[in-house]
Structure 1
Amino acid sequence: MTPIEQSAATRVAIVTGGSGGIGSAVAHALAANGMSVVVHYSGRADRAEKVVASIQEAGGAAVAVSGDVADETAMTALFDAAEERFGGIDVVVNTAGIMLLAPLAEMALDAFDQMHRVNVRGTFVVSQLAARRLRPGGALVNFSTSVTRLQQPTYAAYAASKGAVEAMTLILARELRGQDITVNAVAPGPTATPLFLEGKSPELVERIAAVSPLERLGTPEDIASAVAFLAGPGGRWVNGQVLFANGGVA
């Protein structure tokens, strides 16, 4: 029996940033598909534990583990914890990231470095461990953004960090030839998370929603469905791609 033919209940997923709006939706979606889930967080333990409790109440298996995604020692411990608790790793979803906005001419270099550390180095560290430790039949899903296509003012530094994520994702997919591991990225458009909605007037949110031909914002569940597809049996023939989950905004 090949790994993909095994019961979905035997599959194990790590979700970095699993306590956030999109990350928690991804954790729930993968758990609903029968996977055991390691919910990673870096700050709010209470949010991560709430996600774990919700999954467990629905009959799933989950555990919360903290760590800095850009720290290779902390992330090695995260992968160790997943293997020790559940026996192996089949799916890694890298939702952890930060977004700091300013015109390029005004962006503080400290802010640029902070975003680069989390979004680029963090993705690199987690991807490197995934490449070494995912079981055959596994999937790595990184996170980009539809802003890489939209050329919106104030997003230069953020889009640059996500452009780097796309580059490493597409190259890693080719480097893992022969290992039966898929590597893809999901690029969300405007998504109704608390972080996105914070500080925006209802009128501004309405204008942003109207940009999509579907005339609404995405939901965390919309993005989680795309991730679940790439992480599941239906996505096994999708490899080395960036999936724009944005309702048609770009």
Structure 2
Amino acid sequence: MKIIVTGGLGALGRSVVAELATRGHEVAVVDVATPSGETPGAITLGGVDLTDEAAVQAAYATIAERLGGIDGLVNVAGGFLWETVADGSLHSWDRMYRLNLRTAVISSRAAAAHMQAGGAIVNIGAAAAGNAAMGMAPYAASKAGIKAFTESFADELKSRSIRVNAVLPTIIDTPANRADMPDADRSGWVTPAGAAKAIAFLLSADAGTITGASIPLSLPG
């Protein structure tokens, strides 16, 4: 498969790219960041504003030409912030929408335009979307939007035999999250490598009967 990974220069994105490359897929990374070097197993388009539809469409047209099509998309790009509703800013709600939901909608629309039957899209939601603790409202609301978008777009694309699913991980076990939450219980945190394997499965033909699903990812503990 020829697969685009947005946000592929981050901790989770790099794990997804590595997993897909190991399985023999052709991978393209699209990220707002500028790569400091080559991304192993992938071509990389850096400096792409994933909230800008025209920029994304142009990037995906380039990728489709270079790879000979687009078969899959993983929407990893996103962001997080913690603030209470009372003391926070409405700007934070707009920012979480733009980073977590708008990017996924724009990329999915652009990628689907190039997909044939058998294509697949995987969105990254969050377990917090179903149980938002204090300080999580803007982030969780944007991730709840991912679930609704996944279900609706899956229904829209089923006549074209293109599948759309989401994963809902607990906290991803990254160096940044460990630094931000040094005293947290990490027993239920999901490793980037573990999440990448679940994402790769949902892209594969083995998941051909799964669409419109939002699958929780967690470790027992």
Q: Place the TM-score, normalised by the shorter chain, in its bin.
A: over 0.9
In 1, Cα distance between equivalents of 2:147 and 2:70: 23
| 1:202-221 matches, cutoff 5 A | 204-205=183-184, 207=185, 209-210=186-187, 212=188, 217-221=189-193
Shift of 1:248: 4.8
State the match for 2:139 in structure 1: 158
Residue 245 (str. 1) matches residue 185 (str. 2): no
| 1:121-136 matches, cutoff 5 A | 121-136=102-117
Query: Per residue, is there more helix in 1 or in 2?
Result: 1
Greater C-alpha Rg: 1
Q: Percent identity?
A: 33
Residue 65 (str. 1) matches residue 45 (str. 2): yes
In 2, Cα distance between equivalents of 1:38 and 1:88: 11
State the match for 2:160 in structure 1: 179
| Matched letter for residue 63 of structure 1 | I
In structure 2, stretches of 5+ residues that fail to align are none
State the match for 1:78 in structure 2: 59
RMSD of Structure 2 on Structure 1 (CA): 1.4
In 1, Cα distance between equivalents of 2:87 and 2:106: 29
| Superposition TM-score, scaled by structure 1 size | 0.84
| Matched letter for residue 30 of structure 1 | L
| 1:18-33 matches, cutoff 5 A | 18-33=8-23
Runs of 4+ aligned structure 1 residues displaced above 4 Å come to: none
Shift of 1:223: 0.4
> Which one of 58, 78, 85 corresponds to residue 97 of structure 1?
78
Three-state SS of the structure 2 residue aligned to 1:247 is: coil
> 2:64, 2:114 within 8 Å by CA — same for their partners in 1?
no
State the match for 1:106 in structure 2: 87
State the match for 1:191 in structure 2: 172
| Matched letter for residue 62 of structure 2 | A
> Which one of 218, 230, 249 corresponds to residue 202 of structure 2?
230
| Superposition TM-score, scaled by structure 2 size | 0.94
In structure 1, stretches of 5+ residues that fail to align are 1-10, 56-61
In 2, Cα distance between equivalents of 1:130 and 1:197: 33
Shift of 1:241: 0.1
State the match for 1:5 in structure 2: none
In 2, Cα distance between equivalents of 1:27 and 1:151: 29
In 2, Cα distance between equivalents of 1:103 and 1:219: 27
In 2, Cα distance between equivalents of 1:108 and 1:44: 29
